[in-house]
Amino acid sequence: MASTAMPSLLMAQEAANGGRLIVASDSEPRNLNPAIVASNGVFFISSKVIEPLAEASFEGENGLEPRLAISWEGSDDGLSATFKLREGVTWHDGTPFTSADVAFSALEVWKPLQNLGRLVFENLEAVETPDDHTAIFKFSKPTPFQLIRNALPVVSSVVARHVFEGEADIAASPANNRLVGTGPFKFTEHRPGEYYRLERNEDYWAEGLPKVDEIIFRVLPDRAAAAGALEADEIQLAAFSQVPLTDLERISKVEGIKVYSKGYEGLTYQLAVDVNHRRKELADRKVRQAIAHAIDKDFVVKTIFLGYAAPSTGIIPKNAPEFYTADVPTYDFDLDKANALLDEAGYAKDANGIRFKLRLLPAPYFTETRQFGDYLRQALSSVGIDATVVNNDSAAHQKAVYTDHDFDLAVAPTVYRNDPAISTTILVKSGTPAGVPFSNQGGYVNPRIDQLIEKANETMDVAERTELFKEFQRLVAEDLPLINVAEWGFITVARDDVRNVSNNPRWAVSNWADIALTP
């Protein structure tokens, strides 16, 4: 018996390697470079191609595991951070990966161009490279290493210097959509409206990885279509709740399909209403407070998210215990109070019961954001605000909101990533140039909030830094530059022959080197 069992086991292990994984993708980012656009829609595809210095981990020290860096250490004075880099790594075109690539990425891309890196690396003044596998970041002001460490999975995607060096405009380079990375998969093809294709990197630095030969991201904007494709075995995986929440109970009972709620712990999403403060009515805090009182958060959680969410109290979610505080002003659902505030602000109803009109742009990325846009229109109408809903595709939405500022209100799915300085403070900090996605493009300016952000970004003492961010939450909740409504995680649905699903806190946007298919 033993002599026949061993070959069977080996065959099973071998069968776990190879094959094509077909994945649902509900959008097509206009810029696929995660070093420039640090967002989950971009990471979902590009993280398999372009790697960060470190990735989130359930088991690793401080919640991290090595990628292109094998160790990292901050100085006591906060003026430097040293990264030891992995040896034997090559770019997909065969060029060796070195510390020069890290220095170029940090100084030429993350700091000046990236939506999140421009905050994290605001005081970065130089990157020393004493050898090919050491990069020493030098800061002009003390920069908390806690922040740098927490930010690594999100802001440190390394790009190839030899690909981008000499470009007049890196952000507009065609190379942003023809990715060259060090990751387990090579970017091979994109057919707009159809699919992205990635192929196995035979020279990947991790022995025995990746496990599959090919990943196809099939473009399926209709989420109901993703559920049908899974049941028909046309695709094998749908992440980010691409299977509608209304279908989860039914599809969880289908033979051959599994539902996972893990793998999003490092990606808490918050449903928020972005406000264009250039609009006279919306620049009035009483109007913003009235809008907050007109939203029934409990109804949103129960009806739109089917209970797979929780009401928000502010800009930092409850599942961030290191920084979260409940000691903030809150806005209960109260139409009488909302109407009274609008009256006090001087916006009386006309003969048709309308105070003023707005343009409302729901983000197209999720069913829930679109559904909330319809709900918000109705909620606003109940207090005399006539909102016209404008639905755009992903590219048009980003251009309208983040470049052209052609909106009054926008529904945004913002993301909290381990530290308020990462993708949270950028939502309210003034001075962000036009065109930076997922940032304060509403023209909001509050010097007190800006000062708090700056001070927290330079405070080395962890306890003091935590208190600064609690005060930050109170000021944001008081002034309402944006309105936080709900916070949620996501669901992954996969065929049961897909192995190693949801095994890190950012699984859907990690490199999938160990994802495997079994018969």
Looking at the structure, tell me whether residues 311 and 332 fall in a common domain: yes
Residues 6+ apart with CB under 8 A from 322: 466
pLDDT of residue 11: 33
Helix (H, G, I), strand (E, B) or coil at 467: helix
Tokens representing residue 442 in the block: 């509403």
The verdict on 343 and 452 lying in the same domain is yes
Mean per-residue pLDDT of the chain = 93
CA–CA gap between residue 153 and residue 64 (Å, rounded): 8
For the stretch 265-321, pLDDT in tens is 888 899 999 999 999 999 999 999 999 999 999 999 999 999 989 999 999 999 888
Non-local CB neighbours of 253 within 8 Å, separated by 6+ positions: none
Interatomic CA distance for residues 319 and 11, integer angstroms: 43
Q: Give me the residue label for tokens 């991790």.
A: 206
pTM above 0.85, yes or no: no
Grade residue 9 by pLDDT with cuts at 50, 70 and 90: very low
| 159 and 302 share one domain | no
Q: What is the CATH number of the domain that holds 66?
A: 3.90.76.10
Question: Does the structure show a pLDDT above 60 at 478?
Answer: yes
Residue at a domain's end among 113, 145, 172:
172
8 pLDDT tier (thresholds 50, 70, 90): very low
Q: Provide the 8-state DSSP code for 515.
A: -
Residues 217 and 292 in one domain: no
Claim to verify: residue 225 and residue 315 sit in the same structural domain: no
Neighbours of 354 (CB within 10 A): 13
CATH number at residue 429: 3.10.105.10
Q: Which tens digit of pLDDT belongs to each residue from 366-392?
A: 889 999 999 999 999 999 999 999 999
* 3-class DSSP state of 448: helix
Q: Is residue 6 part of a domain?
A: no
Q: Are 364 and 303 in the same domain?
A: yes
Question: What is the per-residue pLDDT for 240?
Answer: 92
Phi, psi of 190 (to 5 degrees): -135, 120
Q: Per-residue confidence at 489, pLDDT binned at 50, 70, 90?
A: confident
Based on the fold, state whether residues 358 and 212 are members of the same structural domain: no
In a domain, 40, yes or no: no
Tell me how far apart the alpha carbons of residues 490 and 308 are, in angstroms, rounded to a whole number.
8
Is residue 216 over pLDDT 70?
A: yes
What is the average pLDDT across 489-518? 95
C-alpha distance from residue 155 to each of 52, 105, 165, 503 (Å): 8, 10, 20, 21
State percent of the chain over pLDDT 70: 97
> Using alpha carbons only, what angle is made at residue 418 by residues 412 and 422, rounded to the nearest 5 degrees?
60
Pick the last residue of a domain from 122, 142, 172: 172
Residues 106-123: pLDDT tens digits?
Answer: 999 999 999 888 888 989
The parent domain of residue 363 ranges over: 268-488
Q: Which residue bears the tokens 């470049």?
A: 403
pLDDT higher than 80, residue 12: no
Contact 83, 71 (CB under 8 A): yes
Is residue 192 classed exposed, middle or buried when 0-12, 13-18 and 19+ CB atoms within 10 A define those classes?
exposed
- The predicted pLDDT at position 2 comes to 32
Question: Under a CB-based contact definition with an 8 Å cutoff, are residues 74 and 149 in contact?
Answer: yes
Say if residue 344 is in the same domain as residue 362. yes
Task: Enter the tokens of residue 249.
Answer: 């109970």
Q: Is residue 160 part of a domain?
A: yes
* Same domain, yes or no: 62 and 164: yes
Q: Are residues 420 and 338 in the same domain?
A: yes
Single residue among 172, 197, 220 that ends a domain in this structure: 172
Residue with tokens 């033979």: 255
Total of domains in the chain: 3
Instruction: With a cut of 80, say whether residue 3 has pLDDT above it.
Output: no
Residues 298, 281: one domain?
yes
Let me know whether 319 and 381 are in one domain: yes
Listed residue (421, 489, 40, 119) closest to 270, CA to CA: 489
- The Cα-based distances of 16 to 23, 24, 134, 142, 500 in angstroms read 18, 21, 36, 48, 11
Sign of CA dihedral 387, 393, 397, 400: negative
Could you tell me which of 249, 225, 256, 253 has the C-alpha nearest to residue 238? Answer: 225
pLDDT band at 260 (very low <50, low <70, confident <90, very high): very high
> Does 395 fall in a domain?
yes
Banded model confidence at residue 6, pLDDT cuts 50, 70, 90:
very low
Q: Quick check: 492 pLDDT over 60?
A: yes
Residue 135 has pLDDT above 80, yes or no: yes
223: confidence class by pLDDT, cuts 50, 70, 90: confident
Q: Does residue 513 lie in a domain region?
A: yes
